[in-house]
Amino acid sequence: MTAQIHDNAAWARAAPRISVLTPFLRDDPEMLMTMLDREAEALGGAVELILLDDGTGDADLTTRLRAAADGLKLPARLITLSANEGRAKGRNRLTTAARGDTYLFLDSDMRPDTPHFLQTWRDLVAETAPAAAFGGFSLDQAPAEARFAVHRALSSASECMPAATRALTPEKYVYTSNLLVRRDVFAAESFDPGFTGWGWEDVEWAMRVSRRFPVIHVDNPATHMGLDTVQDLARKFDQGAANFARVVALHPDIVQTYPSYRAARALKRLPFLPLARRAMRRAASVTFLPVKARAFALRLYRAAVYADAI
């Protein structure tokens, strides 16, 4: 596998404290780059931006993103891989290019919810240098189209929570969408490359880290713009089943307390589970049903998929 590296003019002279690490595959992170760069003057070189194209294979996109990086005031590096290496390996690779003592994993489909998003992270690092901190995410800027209504309902109910609520089970509500990690902590516990496909590699990482380091939660959210249709979500749940099984095998004491695990165990005893699973997926796709009912059906579908994996 080859990796092409492009640095902008601000890169060489910077001495950053925080490295923003953003992987992407077939996404366009240019809007995120633009929004983060609005804070460049206030940051004074304390934050750098490193992006990893994990094998998109789009020469036109690479050319455009290089030009966009050259226009940034933030120190920026674009790494373009010739082939996909996956979510865990890609994020691990990003850390090897980072120069800051703290990493901020920020997904390419996120949008800061405040004009001082990076400054808030910088101030937290300066004040307490936390081992790991999750800033939360919202749907404030996300599209409100009807085709995304079920995903919006699911995320609003189970993911878009204030820091005080997330802190009650700190390892559960950790996602790489907006995650601050100190360099020495990541050196001790990196992402497990055994996770492939979609999901759970960040939660599993938090489970390991929480056994050794404090994981804190703060209210410094960004919007998750990448809402999915029911069918796209169902496909991701299918892809994530093996990862869920891996988490169960690695951390049974923690996972057994999760509602998703208990639901999967209950559904595993259900006769004719494959037929029921198909019915759940169809119900989630029926547009004339109430959104809450469709979201409940999709949660049941996810649990039914996981039931086959445990």
Residues 124/133, Cβ–Cβ less than 8 Å = yes
Is this structure's pTM higher than 0.75? yes
Residues 191/92, Cβ–Cβ less than 8 Å = yes
Q: Are strands 110-112 and 47-53 parallel, antiparallel or unpaired?
A: unpaired
Q: Which domains does the chain have, with CATH numbers?
A: 3-227 (3.90.550.10), 228-310 (no CATH)
Side-chain half-sphere of 298: how many Cα atoms within 13 Å?
Answer: 29
pLDDT tens readout for residues 258-300:
888 898 888 888 888 889 999 999 999 999 999 999 999 999 9
Residue where the block lists tokens 């020469």: 59
48/40 Cα distance (integer angstroms)? 9
Task: Please give the structure tokens belonging to residue 248.
Answer: 């169960």
Sheet holding 215-217, edge to edge: 3-7, 76-81, 47-53, 18-24, 102-106, 178-182, 132-134, 215-217
Task: Please give the structure tokens belonging to residue 215.
Answer: 């994981």
Determine the pLDDT at residue 148. 95
pLDDT tens readout for residues 88-100:
788 888 999 999 9
Angle, CA 113 vertex, CA 109 and CA 115 arms, to 5°: 115
Residue 250 to residues 48, 104, 153, 204, Cα–Cα distance (Å): 34, 26, 30, 8
Mean pLDDT of 147-167: 94
